[in-house]
Amino acid sequence: MASANKQQKRATRAKAKAKQNRTQRAAAPVELDPNDDRIDFESVDLTELFKTMIDAEKISQQAMCTAFLEDPLLTLVYEQEGEEGAMDFILAALIEYRQWSTEADEAAALAWIESPAFQADYVAASDAIAAQTQPKAN
């Protein structure tokens, strides 16, 4: 797990990115190169993912984290943006999810992500997914 300082930096970047994404969605659409087959993650509609996550959250917070981490969109983000870009996307998406699901402000959403309970559930979900995929790799 990343150090507290690194987590804080990532959270700050994610918070700024989430705000930027909201303002960009409110602005006029940007012309994209039609030959670029990369996904514009800032314009991706996460509503279906959020609905899946909120259904899973009725079971447990760890189930919600698992639903989030198993979404194929995260694999695309990682492939196109690399580890740091993927971390920024994950934090921004989780902040946006919390705001969408509970109408919390950014500070409350960030506090939720940084809470020990969420961190424990997120790591447990990640470890469980890694354990499931490990035998398949061998």
Give the chain's end-to-end CA distance (angstroms, integer).
25
pLDDT of residue 121: 95
- Give the model's pLDDT for residue 30: 47
Tell me: the pLDDT tens digits for 80-123?
888 888 888 899 999 999 999 999 999 999 999 999 999 999 99
Q: How far apart are CA 105 and CA 138, in angstroms?
A: 44
Q: Is the pTM of this model over 0.75?
A: no
- Tell me, what's the pLDDT at 33? 47
The set of residues, in sequence order, having a beta carbon less than 8 Å from that of 113 and lying 6+ positions away, is 11, 91, 94, 95, 98
Top pLDDT among 21 and 74 is at 74
Domain boundaries, given as residue ranges, for the chain: 46-132
